[in-house]
Amino acid sequence: MTPLLQFEHITLKHPSLERPILDDINYTVQKGDCVVVLGANGSGKSSLLKLLDGRYRTNDGKVLLKDKNILSLSSRTRAHCIHTLTQSAQDNLFLDLTIFENYQLIQKRNKADAIDSLADYLQAFNVKLAAKLDVLVARLSGGEQQALALALAVLYPPEILLLDEHTSALDPKTAEHLMALTARIIHERHITALLTTHNVSHALTYGDRILALKEGCVHDCIERNDKENLTAEMLMARCY
Amino acid sequence: MKYIFTCLGLFSLLLLTACGNKHTTASNDEPKSIKIGIIIPIEHPAMDEITRGFEETLTADLKQPIEFQVMRAQGDVNLQRSMILQLQNKGVDLYAPIATQTTEMTAAMIHDRPIVGVAALLPESTRAKSQLALVDDEITPTQIIQFIHAIYPAKTQLTLVYSNNDKMAPQVDEAVAAGKTLGIQVDKRMITALPDLYSIAQSLSPQTQGILVLKDVLVVSGIATLSQTASQKHIPLISADDGSVQNGSGFALGVKEYQIGVEGAKVAEQILQGTPVATIPTVQMTKLSVFINTKALTAQGQDLAAIEKEAAKDHYAIVDVTSKPVGDLK
Amino acid sequence: MISLLLATLTQSLTLIPLALGINLSYTLLRATDMTIDGSFVLGAGVFAQLVTMGISPIIAFLVALSCGAVAGAFTAFLQNGGKVDPLLAGILTSFILYSVNMAIMGRPNINLLSTPTLFSGAFAHSTTLGWFSVALVVGLLVVAFYTLLQSRLGLCLRAFGDNPALLSRQGYNVTYLRVTGFSLNNLLAAASGAITAQIIGYADIGMGVGMTLIGIGAIVLGQHIILPFIKKHYLRAGSELLAGFIGIALYFFILNGLLRFNINPIYLKLLLGILLALFLRTATRKASFS
């Protein structure tokens, strides 16, 4: 079976930096995997995700999505296959549009039929959202915004969901809640996810596999079977 | 929010009282007073001169009391439109818009009152729809070129500096054509804004034997720039209005602005005395003057005698405007 | 007072399409599009030149609108390729348009007094009928524009103004949206120019100066008067439209009102500027609280 996603000798450089941001990364993601990418700030986690959604282009090597170079995909196809959530609400949602309008934009892009009741659908993510369909997203709380972003991201499930520290701007309780919700949704719907976080216990609990980056290189790979025997402290020691 | 409404409310209230006041003063006026609306498109001494000529002549000639309403649009099209509406609201008996663009707008908006377009160049066909009489202030570029040729028969290269302003394009074409028949090559240089003038003054063709400026508000306002160049090169700077001569042009063949106002007033007078507007032909300016600036002529190395000789031959009045303050040319 | 309101109404009417255009660029696309100063003249100039050549006013009007749209597309194109800032791109286009307008018109001022226009027939009949026909054309433009705002395209344009990067990542063609938005906005400005030329009797190369500023001032003013009353966001497009009308009307109300005070016109622009600044200040103060 061909893997869903392959990173082959990925190198990413920035003209103003001496050290490459990513240096010869090789990694394979199978369909249904939930891969947690760990690493210190500046280790290249986010850059790796940005290669996927078209914000960055590799200098060397290639990213293959179902054996196709990701650069050869049209932006529309890529948007269809890959969806990103970040910690900042303005990367995920149109703040000056209402919840319903945000939904309409997603629906139109997917050329899909409208769902029966957006309110019912949102109920499962955050009970408060259901009553606020006509409210500007900017007026929602941070937790509501991220829950909405997640709900819209998985409305028409993408091939790959990229979660770039999507809980890190929230308070611990809300973050915990959202993380659990995210994990449940992606397992229920068999969504392949790449997730970056600084929370090692999240990584252990929710990740199927763990990829640790250090200074742009692959530092450690932890597979499904190895994970069982690890504690958060051990993971911390291995990855940072 | 409250603040905005307070502002607006106060404004409207003031407006109401202002309108009310005017009503009472108007009713105290003599009933026979004639109201004349003068519309000035942009601030310029020439406009003031025309207005003065118009007002003074009309006041002197008409026996009835006259109330002049002078509107100054300051180059703003929207403001000008408001002002014409305002005049209409005041029940003006006769409109005297100055310059072509102003006359066009008045003619488009006012159909039930006579209009005297002063210093306006419009095709005869436009007069049909409204009660429009015209005073055309233009002397033809051909007249100027012929005058120059008479003074300087040896000159074959002239530079004509003009702007993209109102009315200029056809005049420039005419100047070039007139030059051709007399063996003068007229080199055209257009400016779109005042700063262009400096670059053009610096890049004149070395062969040029004189700089010519027509009645062109924008170029005239920067005439000093051209005057310097003319002095450096020892070539004459020739223009077509008195104001530019005061400010450094050597000499000009033109019309006194005051006289344009006088002609306008004469037309207004005829209309007010009952002559049907449609029967009044467009007035052309016949009294031409040669304005000279002796200081500038000396700086440009030009001989005054030759100019005086030709002016006398054509019966043009010589007006020395050297260091006279603007607006004192009556 | 009635004559004042009438003057305000007739003057606002011709600039309503312009207000719609500026509403689109300033409120939806969130760009200050200075192209409008040029495309206003372009609309007037193209229309005037074509009818003077004897072409039917309806065709001339439509061509004038298309030319405005092309000018807008050019501004959008400048932003796409070289990533020029929208403000700069607009100034650049209107700079270029100056020459283009001169070339199209052939002279700085085209007289329409004795040329048949869209409204000349109606005005010849009676002034009321004349203004009615103007209102009809403006009304058609308003309805068309409003329908467009309520459509999916309107939503996409709004989303473009809010967050073009996200829209692009969602797979929308941002280039296409930018071109559409700027074209529409300048099409409306050109429509205003063509209508104005027919009302004031000429097209002039300098008639567009300051139009963008008046428009933006009016829009901001109108919005801060009306938006606090609009709580439902699905009424947004309608209320923005209304805000444009109110703003433009208010501008001319104040302008015509100030004239009635017999204020020395030298200070007129100063006063008008101060009034606008006062309104804008309250507007920004409001915004900083929300």
For residue C158, give both structure tokens: 């709004």
Which residues from C are below 8 Å from A94, CB to CB? Answer: 159, 162-163, 166-167
The C-side interface with A (CB below 8 A) comprises: 152, 155-156, 158-159, 161-163, 165-173, 232-234
For residue B80, give both structure tokens: 């000008």
Burial of A127 (0-12, 13-18, 19+ CB in 10 A): exposed
Q: Is the dihedral of CA C128, C130, C135, C140 positive or negative?
A: positive
Local structure of residue B30 (DSSP, 8 states): -
Rounded Cα distance between C90 and C32, Å, is 8
For residue B225, give both structure tokens: 């720039």
The minimum CA-CA distance between C126 and chain B, rounded to whole Å, is 11
Q: Please tell me the predicted confidence (pLDDT) of residue B328.
A: 44
**Nearest-CA residue of chain A relative to C158?**
A97
Does the distance separating the beta carbons of A136 and C234 come in below 8 Å? no
Which residues from A are below 8 Å from C172, CB to CB? Answer: 79, 105, 109
Which of B78, B111, B218 is the mutation pick for testing C, counting most C CBs within 10 A?
A: B78
- Facing residue for C202 by CB, picked from B76, B78, B105: B105
User: What letter represents residue A70's amino acid?
Assistant: I
Percent share of chain B, pLDDT over 90 = 48
The angle that helices B304-313 and B141-151 make with each other, rounded to 10 degrees, is 120
B118 backbone dihedrals φ, ψ, rounded to 5°: -95, 135
pLDDT category at A168 given cuts 50, 70, 90 is: confident
Residues contacting residue C6 through CB under 8 Å, at least 6 positions apart: none
Nearest one of A205, A224, A227, A189 to A32, comparing CA atoms: A189
At residue B160, the 3 state secondary structure works out as strand
Does the distance separating the beta carbons of C225 and B74 come in below 8 Å? no
Does the distance separating the beta carbons of C210 and B166 come in below 8 Å? no
C92 C-beta neighbours (distance < 10 Å), count:
18
The minimum CA-CA distance between B283 and chain C, rounded to whole Å, is 20
Contact C100, C75 (CB under 8 A): no
Q: Please tell me the predicted confidence (pLDDT) of residue B327.
A: 45
Ranges of residues in chain C whose predicted pLDDT is under 70: 81-82, 264-266, 279-280, 282-290
Which residues from A are below 8 Å from C159, CB to CB? Answer: 94, 97, 101, 105
**Nearest-CA residue of chain C relative to A103?**
C155
Which residues from B are below 8 Å from C224, CB to CB? Answer: 1, 4
pLDDT higher at A176 or B26:
A176
Which residues from A are below 8 Å from C152, CB to CB? Answer: 104, 108
Backbone φ/ψ region at C156: left (φ over 0), alpha (ψ -120 to 50), beta: alpha
Rounded Cα distance between C90 and B9, Å, is 37
Helical spans, DSSP H, in chain B: 2-28, 45-61, 77-89, 100-109, 141-151, 168-181, 194-202, 217-221, 223-233, 242-246, 257-272, 294-299, 304-313
**Nearest-CA residue of chain C relative to B1?**
C225
For residue B105, give both structure tokens: 């707008």
Q: Please tell me the predicted confidence (pLDDT) of residue A240.
A: 78
Q: Please tell me the predicted confidence (pLDDT) of residue B33.
A: 86
- Facing residue for A109 by CB, picked from C158, C172, C233: C172
- Which one of B96-100, B126-130, C147-151, C277-281 scores highest in mean pLDDT? B96-100
Nearest one of C101, C86, C8, C120 to C49, comparing CA atoms: C101
Rounded Cα distance between C95 and C208, Å, is 12
* Strands A22-29 and A5-12, sheet pairing: antiparallel
Q: Please tell me the predicted confidence (pLDDT) of residue C41.
A: 96
Which residues from B are below 8 Å from C255, CB to CB? Answer: 78-79, 82
Domain boundaries, chain B: 32-137+258-284, 141-254+287-320
Backbone φ/ψ region at C145: left (φ over 0), alpha (ψ -120 to 50), beta: alpha
Q: Give mean pLDDT, residues B259-280.
A: 92
Burial of B151 (0-12, 13-18, 19+ CB in 10 A): buried
CA-CA distances (angstroms) from residue C237 to B200, C141, C245?
Answer: 50, 15, 13
For B141-254+287-320, CATH gives 3.40.50.2300
Q: What is the ipTM of this complex?
A: 0.84
The total domain count for chain A is 1
User: What letter represents residue C54's amino acid?
Assistant: G
Does the distance separating the beta carbons of C169 and A53 come in below 8 Å? yes
Residues contacting residue B96 through CB under 8 Å, at least 6 positions apart: B36, B37, B38, B39, B54, B115, B116, B118, B264, B268
Q: Count of B–C CB contacts within 8 Å? A: 130
Rounded Cα distance between B163 and C206, Å, is 12
* Strands A82-86 and B66-72, sheet pairing: unpaired
Burial of B263 (0-12, 13-18, 19+ CB in 10 A): buried
Does the distance separating the beta carbons of B76 and C286 come in below 8 Å? no
Q: Please tell me the predicted confidence (pLDDT) of residue C40.
A: 96
B20 has a pLDDT exceeding 80 = no
Which residues from B are below 8 Å from C204, CB to CB? Answer: 77, 101, 166
Q: Please tell me the predicted confidence (pLDDT) of residue B324.
A: 61
The total domain count for chain C is 1
Long-range pairs of B29-33 with CB within 8 A, sequence gap ≥ 24: B29/B67, B30/B65, B32/B64, B32/B65, B33/B64, B33/B65, B33/B66, B33/B67
Q: Please tell me the predicted confidence (pLDDT) of residue C165.
A: 87
Window from A35-44, B163-172, B308-317 with minimum mean pLDDT: B163-172
Which residues from C are below 8 Å from A75, CB to CB? Answer: 168, 171, 173
Q: In this complex, is the C-beta atom of A101 within 8 Å of any C-beta atom belonging to chain C?
A: yes
Contact B250, B237 (CB under 8 A): yes
Whether the domain at B32-137+258-284 and the domain at B141-254+287-320 fall into the same CATH topology: yes
Q: Please tell me the predicted confidence (pLDDT) of residue B24.
A: 44
For B32-137+258-284, CATH gives 3.40.50.2300
Rounded Cα distance between C8 and B264, Å, is 31
For chain A, the average pLDDT equals 87
- For residue A177, give the CATH number of its domain: 3.40.50.300
Window from B35-39, B213-217, B227-231 with minimum mean pLDDT: B213-217
User: Please, which residues bridge with residue B211 across strands?
Assistant: B159, B237
User: What letter represents residue C95's amino acid?
Assistant: F
Burial of A40 (0-12, 13-18, 19+ CB in 10 A): middle
A228 backbone dihedrals φ, ψ, rounded to 5°: -55, -40
pLDDT category at B330 given cuts 50, 70, 90 is: very low
Q: B53-91 pLDDT, tens per residue?
A: 999 999 999 888 999 999 988 888 888 999 999 899 889
Rounded Cα distance between C184 and C147, Å, is 13
Q: In this complex, is the C-beta atom of A139 within 8 Å of any C-beta atom belonging to chain C?
A: no
B29 has a pLDDT exceeding 60 = no
Domain that holds residue A75: 5-239
Domain that holds residue C84: 2-289
Q: C170-206 pLDDT, tens per residue?
A: 888 899 999 999 999 999 999 999 999 999 999 998 8
Rounded Cα distance between B270 and B280, Å, is 8
Q: B158-203 pLDDT, tens per residue?
A: 999 998 865 688 889 999 999 999 999 999 999 988 888 888 988 8
Does the distance separating the beta carbons of C233 and A108 come in below 8 Å? no
Which residues from C are below 8 Å from B126, CB to CB? Answer: 111, 113-114
For residue A178, give both structure tokens: 């959202």
Rounded Cα distance between A222 and C187, Å, is 59
Q: In what order do the strands lie in the sheet with B34-40?
A: B66-72, B34-40, B94-97, B115-118, B132-136, B283-284
Does the distance separating the beta carbons of B104 and C202 come in below 8 Å? yes
**Nearest-CA residue of chain C relative to A92?**
C166
**Interior CA angle at B13 toward B9 and B19, to 5°?**
145
Half-sphere exposure of B48 (CA within 13 A, CB side): 10
Q: Give mean pLDDT, residues A235-239.
A: 81
Contact C183, C69 (CB under 8 A): yes
User: For the residues of C199-261, what is the DSSP string, one character each?
Assistant: HHTEEETTTTTTHHHHHHHHHHHHHHHHGGG---GGGHHHHHHHHHHHHHHHHHHHHHHHHHT
Q: In this complex, is the C-beta atom of A120 within 8 Å of any C-beta atom belonging to chain C?
A: no
What's the first-to-final CA gap in chain B, in angstroms?
Answer: 56
Q: Please tell me the predicted confidence (pLDDT) of residue C282.
A: 65
Q: In this complex, is the C-beta atom of A230 within 8 Å of any C-beta atom belonging to chain C?
A: no
Residues contacting residue A28 through CB under 8 Å, at least 6 positions apart: A3, A5, A6, A7
Burial of B181 (0-12, 13-18, 19+ CB in 10 A): exposed
Which residues from C are below 8 Å from B75, CB to CB? Answer: 206, 209
- For residue C133, give the CATH number of its domain: 1.10.3470
* Strands B157-163 and B211-213, sheet pairing: parallel
- Facing residue for C171 by CB, picked from A75, A92, A98: A75
At residue A42, the 3 state secondary structure works out as coil
Q: A103-157 pLDDT, tens per residue?
A: 999 888 877 777 888 888 898 888 888 888 888 899 899 999 999 999 999 888 8
A162 backbone dihedrals φ, ψ, rounded to 5°: -105, 125
Q: Please tell me the predicted confidence (pLDDT) of residue A147.
A: 92
Q: Please tell me the predicted confidence (pLDDT) of residue B107.
A: 92
